Structure 1
């Protein structure tokens, strides 16, 4: 690049840095918003069901029934409440005071001692289907664990044709935070890359400063680079802050290479910046650009990327639509690097797809950026 071009590019970059420093909204999107989102999803959002309000109805409180009911007191998943009758427990369930009922009938203790398979009544509030399934699974787990303990105390072994041995890979603590934090990084990078650049450039069109640049000797590629480079480093700074919080505040494991994480994040940020440039090139109003950026980048990154909702459980048409969402590929890379490691068979195809998307968006922006006011 010629010295004159270098000076012009350096001047443009300095202008953008000064504009960022003078604009509190840019600083907020790059650094304050990631902190807020990480705090919300790290502490306020959890897919783990704990302290489930369960009603215990023991019609005949003998030693066997009280022993089994005590298992719920020792479980971190339940917050049990005792009721004297099933009618009172059903009333509490209708009032949403409890999430389920465990009903030990009067023949529970005697039936267990006589080995006649005493029934346990389980009534679950099915309004929230996911919580209902979790309650059902947790109650069954407590029942089988209690049976094993009783067999051990009696010096016997449970007879079963199949012995289940569980092994949980990659997230042995089964913490939803370890799954959510890598995904929210993709949402943060999308906001910084797409929303910030779309707003800033659309604002320049509204204020007329873009026209002032177009009538100078600065070429279109220099204008694009002068705006791309500052916001790229701004986005990488937001990523660095997010990684520090993920490691030292939420203790999310990092099993992959840091350099590979930074490289894939830089690649995705480049794609997000291209999407922001594309939106601001087509829509030159801040309000419209912000609305389009939220609908076309943020919401898909949040809903259709596999960050929270499993893509395979979506309708076939929506599954096909997710292949157009850049955040889908970045979320896969992040979750792999954080929880599994450097699995190149996963990283390479997703990174290659991101590269193709980046070339597409930046190519379209370069083609549409002309040295005229049309």
Structure 2
């Protein structure tokens, strides 16, 4: 009965101050649209320069692969020097150079090298351009082998698992949901205890017969429901707006989300208990949760590529485990070899935070 009264009190507070509703439902919409459309690892409309020093049919057949591709916008040059100057000033992103003896080398079965120069300032885009050019080159070789009716000694058959369209959005949006829910879950509870202290209502709660455990539960449960609503909204946006496939079970997704919400809400509540000031609690929540979740969760950056001290630090970031679960459930399905250990890690972290909250929260003023 006392717990029900505390929960009702918290819901009335949410109704009077709808900022929590805005954090739970408006913030994920804004951030998902902003980051979902703004952050992309795909490269399209690549400005590619092509230098052809001869006008043979072989040269035309090879360069047709670039002009017919949706990834390239082709600029043709007569001289390599002009193309290299445009590459240096950023007018083009890459340069393919076919020398004047290209067709003759093919006819005489001599080496006919193809030069590729890529602007490597953005290493990720440079690697993507290199892969696209190699794809055009492989397709051209296959066409030549088919036209000659000669068997190809080695045939490369590529198969991309889990994300056959190779859309970076399919990979990024689940990670974005994790980062956004980390921020939302922590902010929802980061200021509630501090608000009670600032407004002087905490003293009134302390003199009531309710226990500290009931106060903590009364603070967590309403915001857990708000966070679950925000998670459901984010999942719907991922499926309907960004068209990310969901190959796993909704039950597994909901269970993992519940575990992560407990961790995020508990982190925020612990910050609120320690800070006792709304401004400090809000700033601490952003610094302690959002930035580590963005940088150290595997959302964008490969964790195995980090120096070992930083990679070791990522095991303390709850978002790391939820990113692994969400990306697996969305793209691969219910792979329990990935889901189970990460879910156990989230459960352990949630238990640790709840124990810390119980130890830091006391029914006394000091």
TM-score (norm 1): 0.93
1:301-336: CA deviations, max 9, x gaps?
111111111111111011110111111111111111
CA contact (8 A) 1:59 1:106 kept: yes
- Are positions 1:338 and 2:330 aligned together? yes
SS at match of 2:191: helix
SS at match of 2:238: helix
- Are positions 1:300 and 2:267 aligned together? no
Other-structure match for 2:131: 137
- Are positions 1:315 and 2:307 aligned together? yes
Other-structure match for 1:246: 238
- Are positions 1:61 and 2:59 aligned together? no
SS at match of 1:56: strand
Other-structure match for 1:97: 91
Alignment match of 1:34 (pick from 18, 28, 31): 28
Give runs of aligned pairs for residues 80-229 of structure 1, distance below 5 A.
Answer: 80-160=74-154, 163-229=155-221
CA contact (8 A) 2:36 2:176 kept: no
Q: Distance in 2 between matches of 1:50 and 1:193?
A: 35
Question: After the TM superposition, which of the residue ranges 334-343 and 310-319 deviates more from structure 2?
Answer: 334-343
1:265-296: CA deviations, max 9, x gaps?
11110111111111111112222212221121
SS at match of 1:300: helix
Other-structure match for 1:363: 355
Q: Distance in 2 between matches of 1:93 and 1:286?
A: 52
CA contact (8 A) 1:148 1:157 kept: no
- The runs of 4+ residues in structure 1 deviating greater than 4 Å are none
1:87-136: CA deviations, max 9, x gaps?
22112112111111111111112222222121212111111112112212
Other-structure match for 1:46: 40
CA contact (8 A) 1:190 1:272 kept: yes
SS at match of 2:187: helix
Point out where structure 2 has 5 or more consecutive residues left out of the alignment: none
1:240 Cα offset (Å): 0.9
1:30 Cα offset (Å): 0.7
1:220-270: CA deviations, max 9, x gaps?
112111111110000000011111111122221112111111111111101
SS at match of 1:364: helix
Alignment coverage as a number of residue pairs: 366
SS at match of 2:54: coil
1:350 Cα offset (Å): 1.3
CA contact (8 A) 1:185 1:242 kept: yes
Other-structure match for 2:225: 233
SS at match of 1:371: coil
Q: Distance in 2 between matches of 1:55 and 1:273?
A: 52
After superposition, the CA RMSD in angstroms is: 1.6
1:198 Cα offset (Å): 0.4
1:362 Cα offset (Å): 0.8
TM-score (norm 2): 0.95
CA contact (8 A) 1:41 1:180 kept: no
Question: After the TM superposition, which of the residue ranges 222-231 and 244-253 deviates more from structure 2?
Answer: 244-253
Q: Distance in 2 between matches of 1:134 and 1:27?
A: 41
- Are positions 1:283 and 2:265 aligned together? no
Other-structure match for 2:10: 16
Q: Distance in 2 between matches of 1:250 and 1:60?
A: 45
1:158 Cα offset (Å): 3.0
CA contact (8 A) 1:60 1:106 kept: yes
Other-structure match for 1:3: none
